[in-house]
Amino acid sequence: MRWLLLRSLLEGPAVIDPPAPGADALAELATSLGDLSRRKLGRSLSIREVDAGSCNGCELEIHALNNPVYDVERFGIKFVASPRHADVLMVTGPVTWNMKQALERTYAATPAPKWVVAIGDCGLNCGVFAGGAAVVGPIASVIPVDLHIPGCPPTPLDMLKGLIALVDRMA
Amino acid sequence: MNAPAPAALNDLLQGDTAGRDGFARLRVDEPTWTRLAMGCAAGLHDLGAIWHDAGDVSMLLLDPRAGHRAIVSLATVAGAYPAVSRHHLPASRLERTLRDLGAGRPVGMPDPRNWIDHGVWPNAAPGQTNPRPDKSYEFLPIEGEGWHQIPVGPVHAGIIEPGHFRFTANGELVVRLEERLGYVHKGIEALAAGADIDKVARIAARISGDATVAYSFAFALAVEAALGWTPPPRATLLRGVMAELERLSHHINDVGFICNDASVVALQARCAILREDILQVAARCFGHRLMMDRIVPGGVAADLPADGAAAIETCLKRCETDFAAVMRVYDNSPSLLDRTVTTGVVRPELAARFAAGGHVGRASGRAFDARRNFPYAPYGEVDFAVATRRAGDVDARVWVRVDEVHSSIAIIRDLLARLTPGPITTPRPVAQGPAVGAAMVESFRGDVFIHVRLDADGKVARLHARDPSCFQWPLLEAAIEGNIVADFPLCNKSFNCSYSGHDL
Ligand code: SF4
């Protein structure tokens, strides 16, 4: 254990340089947030992740956001265990009928002001699952969405740029 | 009349030869079907899958010792057929799924509750003819004093897939876990029906995104078998490299998460860096971090760049040294071992009865690995040992994964050394009428099974996918019995079952 900890000290951080906020994300937020964007959250965001029907590919990359390389917490962004502690819901997947109620309830349980980030091609337009009988539709068809981060799955860097844009707009 | 006796696949198969895909196909009558179902319960062979297609019900039976695998089909009477679960309980959720999603009607199911159909779909699933359930769902009753229940999910506290767990406990001690799944059911099999091969390949790659390489691999093999299509040798070797990189990334990551659940965060950080390293190399070599859509019917969609092998080797070296350091700490930390040793035990008899694949089966003595028992290219020419343990606890599952990390590294080196320049795809042969093909591929979590039926124009008429989790989820219920609530995350992570692959 000592060896590992010592190495961590000697090697220096694994973290990458902070990326600039995503241009697409800034443009979408400019319209979706409007006046709300001036609300001060002190550059801190608590995110509750909700899988509303994903294939789990997006979850893997959201996990990667928390690894020492992307280290999302250094931007004041933190994943929390309950929607009651969250400012942002980060939702993945096409919304399945079997998850619709759970997603609506999670949204209702999140205190205002709240924002929704839809992750992945599925979150945007259901991706390859579009038209499935068991699928309700994209996330915006069930709850209001402020920011889309497309990709299948989006890379952690794409997500980081989108989230930094969100923090920037609200700081 | 005498009671029917269990029948063994091995006796029935005399003289039947396997098809191009390595699966024998048998058509049986009702009494033989039932005797084979009883054979599963008697341990004469393993049950691998059950599905309904165009009036027939089929089951996949495996006899790994004799090297046999067969798809046994029975003509149903308007969907009705004798339920396998009546004799062999591991079939229960498979048959509840089959009944919820289509026109099959298993008769005599011991547990007829709905499973995937939660009663909220606006329309019946395409082809669903059975009566729809209502929203209410009866969990198993609890009798006696002092019990309380802890409902968890479908939205969990971590960043994981949705499912509902109902714990019954007395204080900290769990006496029963009952799972309820189906929340991420997207109707994958129905979406695939009637679609062309390229579209279904993309859907298959997203059945369970964490095993995307394995699913694409299995789908490609099944289609290739149906069409008599042979991928070029270079593609075959690259498929193996991708499959092993995927396995490596998950095993290392999951070991990290198990340590994290025991609050040893430094180890998880190390493992997460290694995983990130592997994904970056995958992106550099194959153009996608998870290598999604990189295995396609007929070959692979991305060739290894000239400096690819060297980049992979650098990554493998780092995995070797750093993961060894992680495991040294693991093995020398009593506080960690206290959480993993004797926690979440799956008895070998149970793993055998459920024919549990992957590390869940192998940590409980079931020495099954599709790469070894039913080798597919390139694994026929690859030498590696199937790691097994018998303790069946979280610790045993960790060590099986560690052994597999080592064997994956060796396999990747072996495959890379054999790469020669050449094409990476072959053109698709013209479909010669309707055809079927099946394949079994070892994903990081166990054997993935895919069956396809192609119509006369080469479109997919029916896709059936069976995730290894189908036979692992029930064992998680058994593993947690008698453990404390706080150990559930460790048990769960040591299994790492798929929700999406199970729910389809
Ligand atoms: S966007 Fe892609 S990776 Fe994400 S859930 Fe959909 S299919 Fe999976």
Residue A154 beta carbon below 6 angstroms from any ligand 1 atom: no
Span from the CA of B276 to the centroid of ligand 1 (angstroms): 19
Work out the average pLDDT over B385-398: 94
For tokens 């179902």, name the residue.
B37
Predicted pLDDT at A166: 85
Q: Could you say which DSSP state residue A94 is in? A: P
Which residues does B297 contact at the CB level (< 8 Å), separation at least 6? Answer: B197, B201, B219, B220, B223, B224, B227, B229, B428
Predicted pLDDT at A42: 63
Work out the average pLDDT over B458-465: 94
Better-scored residue on pLDDT, A9 or B295: B295
Search chain B and give the residue with CA nearest A93. Answer: B184
Looking at beta carbons, which residues of chain A come within 8 Å of B272?
Answer: 63-64, 66-69
Predicted pLDDT at B374: 94
Q: Which of B162, B191, B503 sits opposite A129 (nearest CB)?
A: B191
Looking at beta carbons, which residues of chain B come within 8 Å of A57?
Answer: 206, 209-210, 212, 290, 292
> Strand, coil or helix: what is A25?
helix
pLDDT class of B2 with cuts at 50, 70, 90 = low
Work out the average pLDDT over B48-53: 95
A81 touches chain B (CB under 8 A): yes
Work out the average pLDDT over B157-184: 92
pLDDT class of B1 with cuts at 50, 70, 90 = very low
Predicted pLDDT at A37: 47
Instruction: Report the gap between the CA of B152 and the closest CA in chain A (Å).
Output: 12
Residues, chain A, total? Answer: 171
Tell me how far CA of residue B233 lies from CA of A143, B216, B248, B407, in angstroms: 49, 17, 23, 22
Work out the average pLDDT over B374-381: 93
Work out the average pLDDT over B66-86: 93
A4 touches chain B (CB under 8 A): yes
Q: How many CB atoms lie within 10 A of CB B19?
A: 17
Predicted pLDDT at B11: 82
pLDDT class of B388 with cuts at 50, 70, 90 = very high
pLDDT class of B136 with cuts at 50, 70, 90 = confident
Mean pLDDT of chain A: 88
pLDDT class of B171 with cuts at 50, 70, 90 = confident
**Across A69-78, A147-156, B226-235, B408-417, least confident range:** A69-78
Contact at CB, B209 and A60, closer than 8 angstroms: yes
Closest CA relative to residue B22, chosen from B339, B497, B438, B475? B438
pLDDT tens, position by position, B16-41: 678 889 899 999 999 999 999 999 99
Residue A96 beta carbon below 6 angstroms from any ligand 1 atom: no
Instruction: Report the gap between the CA of B330 and the closest CA in chain A (Å).
Output: 9
Contact at CB, B275 and A81, closer than 8 angstroms: no
The yes-or-no verdict on residue A33 having pLDDT over 80 is no
The yes-or-no verdict on residue B299 having pLDDT over 50 is yes
Atom of ligand 1 nearest to the CA of A54: 5
Predicted pLDDT at B371: 95
Work out the average pLDDT over B108-124: 90
Predicted pLDDT at A164: 86
Looking at beta carbons, which residues of chain B come within 8 Å of A137?
Answer: none
The yes-or-no verdict on residue A41 having pLDDT over 70 is no
Work out the average pLDDT over B183-208: 95
Looking at beta carbons, which residues of chain A come within 8 Å of B116?
Answer: 98
ipTM of this complex: 0.91
Distance between CA atoms of residues B152 and B488, nearest Å: 12
Work out the average pLDDT over B186-212: 95
Interhelix angle B233-261/B212-227, rounded to 10 degrees, is 150
Q: What is the pTM of this model?
A: 0.94
Q: Which residues of B376-387 are buried (b: 16+ CB within 10 A; e: fewer)?
A: bbbbeebebebb
Predicted pLDDT at A34: 58
Q: Which of A97, A106, A128 sits opposite B120 (nearest CB)?
A: A97
Three-state SS letters, A113-161 = CCEEEEEHHHHHHCHHHCCCCCEEECHHHCCCCCEEECCCCCCHHHHHH
Predicted pLDDT at A35: 52
Work out the average pLDDT over B221-244: 96
Search chain B and give the residue with CA nearest A51. Answer: B161
| Type and span of the H or E element at A65 | helix A57-65
Do strands A95-96 and A135-137 pair parallel, antiparallel, or not at all (unpaired)? Answer: antiparallel
The yes-or-no verdict on residue A40 having pLDDT over 60 is no
Mutation target vs A (from B114, B186, B493; most A CBs, 10 A cutoff):
B186
A141 touches chain B (CB under 8 A): no
The yes-or-no verdict on residue A3 having pLDDT over 80 is no
Work out the average pLDDT over A21-28: 83
pLDDT class of A54 with cuts at 50, 70, 90 = very high
Looking at beta carbons, which residues of chain B come within 8 Å of A53?
Answer: 183-184, 186
Contact B243, B217 (CB under 8 A): yes
The yes-or-no verdict on residue B236 having pLDDT over 70 is yes
Do strands B148-152 and B105-107 pair parallel, antiparallel, or not at all (unpaired)? Answer: unpaired
Do strands B68-75 and B80-82 pair parallel, antiparallel, or not at all (unpaired)? Answer: unpaired
pLDDT tens, position by position, B332-345: 899 999 999 999 99
